Amino acid sequence: MLQKSSLNSYHHTDSLLVQFVLNDFLLTLEEAYVIRQFADKKTETDEFINGLNGYLVNLAGSEQAYIRIFSWIVDSGVLTKLKNTSDLLSERTKKCDQDFIELHNSAHKAWIDCLHTVSLIQDFDKGIGDVISLRKAVEKCLSSINKLKPAIKKILPKYIHDENILYFILRHQERFDCQLGPTWSKKLFKTFYPEGALTYMTARFTERGFTNLLPEITLKLQEVTQ
């Protein structure tokens, strides 16, 4: 449930980093949805393993042996990137804030479960694979990724007065609503800006000289409040 929070002193300095976290979060959940659709299909073992391996590359990256140690490599997957950006955000914010700790722990748990699933796939190349254990690992991985949702929901209100974050949410409204609920964006803006966010966002972006963005912001605010 959304809760109102006061303006945090660190929200401006972390604005870009938070957007990276949100983007990696959306990409991770979108990939997890594809895996869910694939896992629910009745497929032969070889087809399941080969298909799943491709999807896990998108999540954890293409060089699994190196990612375990050097998780900042360029071709790391979206879940690995989310783990890393969540790490950075957690390090830059208040150490006693349990919400950031929860995000950090949730991202790490999902990443570890993904790597475990990768390891089980590699077992098939060694001739010791167990498809039942693999399917259980997939379910555990997807469950861990799903637990990122409440963690993100707790983080967002801390940046609700950051016009850049508001603009990001507006630009990705459909993606957020797809992952967090069909009216999530509308409820977010109604909760924190009951009189509308246009006046606030117009003032903030005008002050910074980004008046060229105002027509798009106006239109998207109209769409999200309909």
pLDDT by residue, tens only, the chain of 226 residues: 344 443 343 344 689 999 999 999 999 999 999 999 999 988 888 899 989 988 998 898 765 444 444 444 445 789 999 999 999 998 887 677 899 999 999 999 999 999 999 999 988 888 888 899 999 999 999 999 999 999 999 999 999 999 999 999 999 999 999 999 999 999 999 999 999 999 999 999 999 999 999 999 999 999 998 7
Q: What is residue 104's DSSP assignment?
A: H
Q: Per residue in 22-53, pLDDT tens?
A: 999 999 999 999 999 999 988 888 899 989 98
Alpha-carbon gap, residue 72 to 177, rounded angstroms = 30
Alpha-carbon gap, residue 168 to 161, rounded angstroms = 12
Name the token pair of 116.
């475990």
The tokens 């604005």 sit on which residue?
15
Taking the domains of the chain in order of start, what are their residue ranges? 9-158, 160-226
Alpha-carbon gap, residue 184 to 145, rounded angstroms = 19
In CATH, 9-158 is 1.20.1420: yes
Name the token pair of 196.
């509308």
Per-residue model confidence (pLDDT) at position 179: 94
CA distances from 143 to 138, 160, 187 (A): 9, 28, 25
Spell out the SS3 assignment of 137-191: HHHHHHHHHHCHHHHHHHHHHHHCCCHHHHHHHHHCHHHHHHHHCCCHHHHHHHH
The phi and psi torsions of 151 (rounded to 5 degrees) equal: -65, -45
- Please list, in sequence order, all residues whose beta carbon lies within 8 angstroms of the beta carbon of residue 141, skipping any fewer than 6 positions away: 110, 113, 114, 116, 117
Alpha-carbon gap, residue 24 to 29, rounded angstroms = 9
